[in-house]
Amino acid sequence: MAAIAAGMAVSSCSHRAEVTAEYNIVPLPVQVTPQEGGAFKLSDKTVICYTPGDTALQKNAVLLAEYLKTLTGSDLKISDKIEDNNAIVLLSDLNSDNPEAYTLTVNDKLITINGASAAGNFYGINTLRKSIVSAGDHDVLFPAVEITDEPRFAYRGTHFDVVRHFFPADSVKEYIDMIALHNVNTLHWHLTDDQGWRVEIKSRPELTTVGSMRNGTMVGTDFNSSDSIPYGGFYTQDEIRDIVKYAADRHINVIPEIDLPGHMVAALKAYPELGCTGGPYEVWEKWGVSEDLLCAGNDSTLVFIDDVLNEVMDLFPYEYVHIGGDECPKVRWEKCVKCQAKIKQLGLKKDSHSTAEQKLQSYVMDHASKTIANRGRKAIGWDEILEGGAPESTVVMSWRGLDGAIEAAETGHDAIMTPVQYCYFDYVQAPDSITDETLLPYHTYLPIEKVYSFEPVPESLTPEQASHILGAQANVWAEYMPTMNYVQYKVLPRLAAMSEVQWTDPSKKDFNDFKRRLGQFKNQYDAEGYNYAKFVFDEEADASPVTAVEP
Ligand code: TNX
């Protein structure tokens, strides 16, 4: 009996259900060429191996094992001995000009993923996992194939506002995993704003002890209301370092944003002497744009900026630091004695391009950019930084349309495309009747079709100017996203469309084909337990207007 029972166990094990992989993935690879010969069978005996001594590939191997465990139920062994049978081999010695390129080769004995770097290798891993059509306890047959792939843009961003609503460290990691699935390589982390200061700065402790909490939050769309429930949170420096490392392991660089000189009311609550009126200030309970900014005529403001940016640069090793620059009404500066004295002292004069106060903003942004450049880093600013003349070598993030990026590229600045009409995932994605998404006065309809249609390189640019467009980014402003579940709903599957904008050559883009592949991709969302906009996959929703309402 015992022998029969054991035999049955073996035979049921060897007859584990089987699914066949399909290389129908998002974002669409450069080339997928089916090969002659048998398929590779991934079972629980398959080994993941990597180049001995390569710690970056070892980390990739650990991630691949996690992904495959989720999708197949198998716990694969990881080895630094390169096998020649029943193995997934991870290498990073592909010869390519594009450091994120990879090849994925499948034959009946091996799956080989060769990256031009560990990052390239990771995108090959993503392709492998996305080709598994469903999650379950099963073996997977991978048809023989040769995939050659590389991204179109070097900058593939997703932004996250953790101020209007706060998301603890574990949720940020979850967010990082979600964007990593979409081959995103940059997290733009919006850490400070009027409604809270979210990063611990040891030299200015009150930024978080005082500035991280607000006394309440406006209710719905009523700007005069407050729920009077204290709300806040911040990341300790240890948490920040841990998140930066977590992102790096997934080949994601983190760009912190310290929004200057506006969107600073939380900092002014902590240090009112840095404002033009001296306060008192309260951390904002509503959304929108405050007239209170840092006082540009006060030299201690520049010391404050330097102290904060230097600590931030200690925490975030990536080349870029975002210094904001958006939405700075100049009413306080126009009336402030110190700001006006500074304008006089600097000899700033209104001309056809800018007001004296806009030039004063350039003076502050220029100072911040130099602090960053002094440490060999580069500053990024929202497109308003062009108004008073953008500091040299500053990257422009174009959000109020395409014009900021065009002007930037024409004047020799690098630019990142994130225009509201294609890239704002706080905007409504569902036709009105389907969900209860909050429609704010500034929100418009941004369906997935419109995201997909985005072309980040404007036709008017010369090839030289076009080379200044580093890439594109989706922005996730969290005024109306109180929970991670809702964040996922707003981001998915629009980020899949954005990932194809960021990765795939425009000549290969086709919305209907994307939609077909998205049907397979959503199984990854299901496997991870993500909440996503399911109406996108519903026949009726398919008939929704494809032409978006223009803002
Ligand atoms: C504009 S985009 C803002 C944010 C808001 C967002 C809402 C930008 C540079 N500023 O402060 O959250 O609109 O869509």
Instruction: Fill in the DSSP letter of residue 222.
Output: B
Ligand 1 atom closest to residue 479's alpha carbon, by position in its atom list: 12
Ligand 1 atom closest to residue 399's alpha carbon, by position in its atom list: 2
Distance (angstroms) between ligand 1 centre and the Cα of 428 equals 15
Neighbour-count burial for 479-488, b at 16+ CB within 10 Å, e otherwise: bbbeebeebb
Ligand 1 atom closest to residue 443's alpha carbon, by position in its atom list: 14
Residue 425 · residue 487 · CB < 8 Å: no
Contacts 24+ apart (CB under 8 A), 399-407: 399/326, 399/423, 399/475, 402/458, 405/458, 405/469, 406/458, 406/460, 406/461, 407/383
The DSSP line for 35-66 is -SSPPEEE-TT-EEEE-TT-HHHHHHHHHHHH
SS3 per residue for 273-328? HHECCCCCCCCCCCCCCCCCCECCCCHHHHHHHHHHHHHHHHHCCCCEEEEECCCC
Write down the pLDDT at residue 546: 31
User: How far apart, in whole angstroms, are the C-alpha atoms of residue 135 and residue 524?
Assistant: 8
The pLDDT confidence band at residue 173, using thresholds 50, 70 and 90, is very high
Average pLDDT over residues 179-194: 99
pLDDT per residue as tens digits for the range 45-102 = 999 999 999 999 999 999 999 999 999 999 999 999 999 999 999 999 999 999 999 9
Distance (angstroms) between ligand 1 centre and the Cα of 257 equals 13
Distance (angstroms) between ligand 1 centre and the Cα of 477 equals 7
Nearest to 45 by CA among 88, 104, 105: 88
Distance (angstroms) between ligand 1 centre and the Cα of 273 equals 26
Write down the pLDDT at residue 535: 87
| Residue of 193, 194, 366, 383 marked catalytic | 193
Instruction: Specify the residue with its C-alpha closest to ligand 1, atom 5.
Output: 477
Residue 261 · residue 293 · CB < 8 Å: yes
Distance (angstroms) between ligand 1 centre and the Cα of 264 equals 14
Residue 510 a catalytic site member = no
Ligand 1 atom closest to residue 426's alpha carbon, by position in its atom list: 14
Write down the pLDDT at residue 504: 98
Write down the pLDDT at residue 389: 85
The pLDDT confidence band at residue 393, using thresholds 50, 70 and 90, is confident
The pLDDT confidence band at residue 545, using thresholds 50, 70 and 90, is very low
Ligand 1 atom closest to residue 164's alpha carbon, by position in its atom list: 12
Write down the pLDDT at residue 440: 65
Nearest to 254 by CA among 159, 152, 118: 159
Q: Which residues contact 470 (CB under 8 A, 6 or more apart)?
A: 153, 154, 155, 395, 414, 415, 416
Ligand 1 atom closest to residue 327's alpha carbon, by position in its atom list: 10
pLDDT per residue as tens digits for the range 407-455 = 999 999 999 999 999 999 999 888 764 555 666 666 788 999 999 999 9
Residue 325 · residue 385 · CB < 8 Å: yes
Nearest to 217 by CA among 272, 155, 263, 282: 282
Instruction: Specify the residue with its C-alpha closest to ligand 1, atom 6.
Output: 477
User: How far apart, in whole angstroms, are the C-alpha atoms of residue 482 and residue 144?
Assistant: 45
Can you list the alpha helix ranges (DSSP code H) found in 96-227?
118-130, 169-180, 206-209
Ligand 1 atom closest to residue 477's alpha carbon, by position in its atom list: 12
Distance (angstroms) between ligand 1 centre and the Cα of 408 equals 20
User: How far apart, in whole angstroms, are the C-alpha atoms of residue 36 and residue 144?
Assistant: 7
Distance (angstroms) between ligand 1 centre and the Cα of 288 equals 8
The pLDDT confidence band at residue 471, using thresholds 50, 70 and 90, is very high
Instruction: List the beta strands (DSSP E) in 330-394.
Output: 378-382
What percent of the residues of the chain are helix, what percent strand, and what percent coil, each to the nearest 5? 35, 20, 45
Residue 188 a catalytic site member = no
Write down the pLDDT at residue 7: 34
Nearest to 57 by CA among 120, 126, 151, 131: 120
Average pLDDT over residues 335-360: 97
Distance (angstroms) between ligand 1 centre and the Cα of 327 equals 8
Which residues' Cβ are closer than 6 Å to ligand 1? 326-327, 382, 399, 424, 426, 477, 479
Q: What is the mean pLDDT of the chain?
A: 93
Write down the pLDDT at residue 352: 93
Ramachandran region, residue 103 (left: φ > 0; alpha: ψ -120 to 50; beta: rest): beta
Ligand 1 atom closest to residue 424's alpha carbon, by position in its atom list: 14
Q: What angle do CA 33, 39, 45 make, to 5 degrees?
A: 130
Residue 104 · residue 111 · CB < 8 Å: yes
Residue 500 a catalytic site member = no
Instruction: Specify the residue with its C-alpha closest to ligand 1, atom 2.
Output: 399
**Does residue 400 carry a pLDDT above 90?**
yes
| Residue of 159, 190, 251, 263 marked catalytic | 263
| Residue of 239, 327, 449, 510 marked catalytic | 327
> What burial class does residue 275 get, using C-beta atoms within 10 Å of its C-beta: 0-12 exposed, 13-18 middle, 19+ buried?
buried
pLDDT per residue as tens digits for the range 236-292 = 999 999 999 999 999 999 999 999 999 999 999 999 999 999 999 999 999 999 999
Distance (angstroms) between ligand 1 centre and the Cα of 254 equals 19
Instruction: Specify the residue with its C-alpha closest to ligand 1, atom 8.
Output: 326
Give me 264's structure tokens. 């600073």
Helix axes 484-491, 169-180, angle to 10 degrees: 20
User: How far apart, in whole angstroms, are the C-alpha atoms of residue 544 and residue 157?
Assistant: 28
CA 331 to chain centre: 33
> Greatest CA span in the chain, whole angstroms?
97
pLDDT per residue as tens digits for the range 191-235 = 999 999 999 999 999 999 999 999 999 998 899 999 999 999 999
pLDDT per residue as tens digits for the range 303-346 = 999 999 999 999 999 999 999 999 999 999 999 999 999 999 99
Q: Give the SS3 label for residue 141.
A: strand
pLDDT per residue as tens digits for the range 478-525 = 999 999 999 999 999 999 999 999 999 999 999 999 999 999 999 999
Ligand 1 pocket test, candidate residues 477, 479, 481, 490, most atoms within 8 A of CB: 477
430 or 400: which leads in pLDDT: 400
Give me 98's structure tokens. 């594009």
Instruction: Specify the residue with its C-alpha closest to ligand 1, atom 13.
Output: 477
Write down the pLDDT at residue 520: 96
Ligand 1 pocket test, candidate residues 263, 290, 326, most atoms within 8 A of CB: 326
Nearest to 88 by CA among 100, 79, 75: 79
Give me 231's structure tokens. 């709300």
User: How far apart, in whole angstroms, are the C-alpha atoms of residue 418 and residue 440?
Assistant: 19
Average pLDDT over residues 521-547: 73
Write down the pLDDT at residue 445: 87
The pLDDT confidence band at residue 15, using thresholds 50, 70 and 90, is confident
Ligand 1 pocket test, candidate residues 164, 263, 284, 327, most atoms within 8 A of CB: 327
User: How far apart, in whole angstroms, are the C-alpha atoms of residue 265 and residue 316?
Assistant: 24
Distance (angstroms) between ligand 1 centre and the Cα of 66 equals 36
Residue 474 · residue 425 · CB < 8 Å: yes
Write down the pLDDT at residue 160: 99
Residue 397 · residue 380 · CB < 8 Å: yes
- Tally the C-alpha atoms within 13 A of residue 273's C-alpha that lie toward its C-beta: 8
